Structure 1
Amino acid sequence: MTLDLLPVGQAARIVAVDWPVLVAEEALRLQALGIDSGAKVSIAHRGIFGTFDPIALSIGRMTVALRRVHARAIEVETL
């Protein structure tokens, strides 16, 4: 499943990231934040509007805001 479909509070591990679909600068920023294969993540919160954008992602001790389009490029498996 992709990260944008992960339920709020469900722990998961990143299996793969489709880096080519992301803009190069955005991909580098996500990698710098530790968003890469093997990282353990969970969805802390979703936006309240119809698109549920942005997504608040918990990774380690950080909370990072991601756009839904970025979350769709991240494949996860639930833990």
Structure 2
Amino acid sequence: MDTTVKTLRDVPVGETAVVAKLTGAGALKRRIMDMGITRGTRILIRKVAPLGDPIEVNIRGYELSLRKSEAENILLQ
């Protein structure tokens, strides 16, 4: 069984992941939740910018760009 914690930042382009938990505190966590990223949500990694930041994802039928620092707060199943 794999016990390493995987974040959204670690997912390669073209793969889909399911949100297990959000970390972070206060305004950052609230901002992530306001974007529609909650536990159980499926996220498809669409693109990564040439220098690696931001990451473009497809979530709940719309495109969203996230900074890597935000993606590190999204833990996956």
Q: Tell me, yes or no, if the aligned pair for 2:20 and 2:75 is still in contact at 8 Å.
A: yes
- The RMSD of aligned alpha carbons is 1.3
State the 1:42 CA deviation: 1.3
> What TM-score do you get using the length of structure 1 for normalisation?
0.82
The amino acid across from 2:53 in the alignment is D
Matched residue, 1:76 = 76
1:17 paired to 2:18 = no
Which sections of structure 1, spanning at least 5 residues, go unmatched?
A: none
1:11-57 deviation per Cα after TM superposition (whole angstroms, max 9, x unaligned): 1100001032xx61x432321221111101011100101xx000001
1:65 paired to 2:70 = no
The number of residues matched between the two structures is: 72
The amino acid across from 1:71 in the alignment is A
Following TM superposition, the consecutive aligned residue runs of length 4 or more in structure 1 with deviations greater than 3 angstroms are none
Which sections of structure 2, spanning at least 5 residues, go unmatched?
A: 1-5
